[in-house]
Amino acid sequence: MTINKTIDLPRKPNAKIDVAKVFNIDTDIVVKGYKNKTEWVPQVDDSYVFDKDTTLSILAGFEHNRRVMVQGFHGTGKSTHIEQIAARLNWPCVRINLDSHISRIDLLGKDAIKLNDGKQITEFQEGLLPWSIQNPVALVFDEYDAGRPDVMFVIQRILEVEGKLTLLDQNKILEPHNSFRLFATTNTVGLGDMTGLYHGTQQINQGQMDRWHILATLNYLDPDQEFKVVMSKLNNLKGAKNQDIVKNMIKLANLTRAGFANGDISTLMSPRTVISWGQNFKIFKDIVSSFKLTFLNKCDEVEKSIISEYFQRCFDLEIDNGKSDS
């Protein structure tokens, strides 16, 4: 895939998508997508389970050109949710992780030295942001609240639906493509890290937060829904006994989340952690060892006794914290 060519799609979506049928949620909404799939469309994960409220919020972004921010704890599938919706709409999707090393030059582009007829010339190399805004692309800024201030002000230019992107170095003003869409995922709601879990996140200018039309929250699912999600990722873990083990894994995860909310422990298990635990359980065939390797060994020594008690409640097994699996 290369960004120096235009994506060959109609200017507007040309296929009707039955939301209830495609996303398996109870609604009579119909949205538009594309008939043809390009190389920029994510792969469909047939086992993916969609959260109704978050799905409808993201679909509103696609259908009505709303700027949508999805906020939630780590490992809840915020970015994947957007990607899997784009995959089913055949909508090209690009993810950019806004860590502290991404600068405005990385987004907008920079001068690069090229060979032309054996001579070195300097030519402007367009960045992902100008390319995306001129194409039918769903642009997703991951870890949006970790972005640098100079990057945030670049993004602010395109948060307005009709917002044009001005490239001062090139004396250009770029108009957004009719099917350009903008999304972001964050762990916080723009107020900085209030939990101690997300070092490196920044406070977001409230003038910029105000420009996001929809703020969807995707936190932990109810146990039945989470069970479906985890089992969909553990294809070989069949049988009633293994299903009970997975249910107890989720029960333990919810105890860590409640413990974190009450201030008893400083970390928690995300759905991603539960899936990793299940995968490690398939490898090591031992529930205690796989739990240590997946989660317990990452915890503070002082808190291991509390988490071991959670484990005993769920599995009726004791963990020896005197030795650490590695």
Q: Which class for 116: exposed (0-12), middle (13-18), buried (19 or more C-beta within 10 A)?
A: exposed
Nearest Cα to Cα of residue 76 among 238, 209, 212, 257: 257
**Do residues 141 and 96 lie in contact, with contact meaning Cβ atoms separated by under 8 Å?**
yes
% the chain with pLDDT above 70: 91
Prediction pTM value: 0.81
Residue 324: pLDDT above 50?
no
Q: Express each pLDDT in 105-139 by its tens digit.
A: 888 887 777 777 778 888 777 888 999 999 999 99
Please report the pLDDT score of residue 167 as a whole number. 81
Residue 17's DSSP bridge partners are 31
**Other CB atoms within 10 Å distance of the CB of residue 103:** 13
Q: How far is CA 4 from CA 119, 140, 143, 313, in A?
A: 21, 19, 26, 57
Q: Express each pLDDT in 251-289 by its tens digit.
A: 999 999 999 888 899 888 988 899 999 999 999 999 999
Average pLDDT over the chain, rounded to an integer: 87
Q: Mark out the alpha helices in the chain (DSSP H runs).
A: 19-23, 52-64, 78-89, 104-108, 128-133, 149-156, 206-209, 223-233, 240-261, 271-284, 287-294, 304-315
Residue 177: pLDDT above 60?
yes
How many helical (H) and strand (E) elements, i.e. helices and strands, does the chain have? 12, 11
Q: Express each pLDDT in 20-74 by its tens digit.
A: 999 999 999 999 999 999 999 999 998 888 989 999 999 999 999 999 999 888 7
Residue 109's DSSP bridge partners are 126
Contacts of 265 (CB under 8 A, 6+ apart): 256, 259, 299, 300, 303, 306, 307
